Structure 1
Amino acid sequence: MEWKNIYRGMAMGASDVVPGVSGGTIAVLLGFYDQLIAAINGFFTKDWRKHFAFLFPLGLGVVFAIFTLSKVMNWLLKFYPVPTFFFFIGLILGVLPLLFREADAKATFKTRHIVLLFIGIILIGSLVFFKDPNHGAGITDRTVSTYILLFFSGVAASAAMILPGVSGSLVLLIIGVYSTVTQAISNLEFSVIIVTGLGILFGIIFMSKLIHYFFKHFRVAVFALIIGSVTGSVIVIFPGWPMDFFLLLLSITTFAVGLLVAYILGKIEY
């Protein structure tokens, strides 16, 4: 077992709880993204034991972080939403230099890649028009349509979780089920957890194959689109400037902390 993957998984799980940076981005930051995609794709092959040894401790870390931090995130978004989102913005912007470095943008980016970058900004930035301004009050009805929505929300979120770009939590926030899911995790409401989790699992297995193909054949183009998507996500989660001086000062501080956390994560394994 690759037990060092527990702390990697905790970093991924923490990022997947907050609507900021995706678990895929954390995997890029920590230098094991290619291994992650290969392990997911190889899990259903004859070499599954090797990939299980990689994925099991990683999954333990992810689950531990999600169940530990869900209550904290609910509290922060309820009482300090603006400083919390400024932390996410700092985290996102702090990731961009690493993504440019991973893509070797100076040497590889051509005009078409710049166009793709701006397409990513526009596609994700336009989601601001669909954002729930209340960050989702939570769905109280538990009907069949609710569970169908949760399943497909999990599928959509999983694509963001595994891609180095927009976070799965941001997708859940935009769809309007983020609070429903985090409250279910906090209160151990297993019906919501299982249905959403199955959607996430299905999406991860399916998306890993697509990602593997596109990274293999169009790596630079994919990175250009990802960088644009990450940049566009700042537009989506920007909460506006606080009018209160204390909140403004706190927001600037949390923004700086977000930048610092991204920098530290980028240095851990490099």
Structure 2
Amino acid sequence: MWEWRNIYRGMLMGASDVVPGVSGGTIAVVLGIYDRLIEAINGVFSKEWKKHLKFLIPLGMGVSISIILLASLIEWLFEHYPDPTKFFFLGLIIGVLPYLAHKADMKRTFKVKHYVLLLIGAGIVASMAVFQTGESGQIQDLDSSTYLLLFFSGWLASSAMILPGISGSFILLVIGVYSTVVGGISDFKIDIIAVVGLGILFGILVMSKIVKFFLDNYTIGTFAVIIGLVIGSVFVIFPGVPGTLILWIVSFITFISGLLTAWLLGRVEYK
């Protein structure tokens, strides 16, 4: 049976994947489909491939639609209203944590080693804030070496997308190709979309197998790391203290909106 509900889920994941600092994997956790997503990606080449494709194709359609439609909007929001936009996603990320804690049953299952793993995961992602440097702009001269860079950038970014808390867009920003990729999507540059898309597909297939192995064999430890990654992403996306009273008020409203969005999505999906 086709899971057409995944179109809207994919649109939410796609919107988050465009934002540096926010992970599509984080949104998958809020929606309660993270485990199913990993299972479906790994099951594409199994005997039950039809069932998994009926889950993945609508999800992929939603992600694609969202990225194509929202790339320009997200770009505009970050250019004109960066702080309120970041505070919305900050609220969304923090709103995910109760669902993760519940799913991992932290109070009952976590031991000292799990909290250590959590701190390590948080530290890894939080340290990425050091690399938040501005890009020089879109790459104009595209040659074979640039296409190779874009392919591996897509590979690395998609590997990050699979992990809640690590933003694929932020990886692109660190590498220095974020503007090039988002601009290519906004302007429908087929060569950029195709090369980055192939890299993303390859990365998702590889990373999903790694994640599935750890979820199957080290479930609680894996959740400890995932929770740490999500906590660390708070430090990455935090834009700093708003400079004016108006900005304070608007940022507070968008932050609360992000929290409420996570809560509402969680209630709808888990119900």
Q: Taking structure 1 as reference, are residues 215 and 245 closer, same or farther at Cα in structure 2, changes over 3 Å only?
A: same
| Change in 2 beyond 3 A, CA 1:170/1:131 | same
In structure 2, the residue matched to 1:242 is 242
Q: Report the 3-state secondary structure (helix = DSSP H, G, I; strand = E; otherwise coil) of the residue aligned with 2:3.
A: coil
Paired residue for 1:181? 181
* Offset, 1:195: 0.9
User: Is residue 40–residue 55 contact of structure 2 (8 Å, CA) maintained in 1?
Assistant: yes
Aligned residues of 2:165 and 2:232 also touching (Cα < 8 A): no
Shift of 1:65: 0.8
Aligned residue for 1:139, secondary structure, equals: coil
DSSP 3-state at the match of 1:122:
helix
Gaps of 5+ in 1: none
The alpha carbon displacement at 1:116 in A equals: 0.7
Sequence identity of aligned pairs in percent? 57
User: Given residue 77 of structure 2, which amino acid in structure 1 is its aligned partner?
Assistant: L
CA shift for structure 1 position 50: 1.8
Aligned runs of 1:108-187 on 2, under 5 Å?
Answer: 108-132=109-133, 134=134, 137-187=137-187
1:100 matched residue in structure 2 = 101
Residues 20, 91 of structure 1: 8 Å contact kept: no
Q: In the TM superposition, what are the counterparts of 1:1-270 in structure 2 within 5 Å?
A: 1-132=2-133, 134=134, 137-270=137-270
Q: CA RMSD in A?
A: 1.6
- In structure 2, do the counterparts of structure 1 residues 247 and 138 end up closer, same or farther at CA, with 3 Å as the change threshold? farther
Using the alignment, how far apart are the partners of 1:30 and 1:237 within structure 2? Answer: 21
Contact map agreement 1:67 1:186 (CA 8 A) in 2: yes
Superposed displacement of residue 135, structure 1: 6.2
Runs of 4+ in structure 1 off by over 4 angstroms are none
* Structure 1 letter corresponding to 2:57: F
2 CA distance for matches of 1:95 and 1:42?
Answer: 26
- 2:140 is paired with a residue whose SS is coil
> Which runs of 5 or more residues in structure 2 are unaligned?
none
Normalized against structure 1, the TM-score is what?
Answer: 0.94
Instruction: Using the TM superposition, give the Cα deviation of residue 110 of structure 1 relative to its aligned residue in structure 2, in angstroms.
Output: 0.5
Find the aligned partners of 1:113 and 1:238 in 2 and give their Cα distance.
25
| TM-score, normalization by structure 2 | 0.94
Give the letter aligned to residue 109 of structure 1: F
Check 1:136–1:85 CA distance in 2 against 1; reply closer, same or farther (3 A cut). farther
Q: Which residue identity lines up with residue 199 of structure 2 in the other structure? A: G
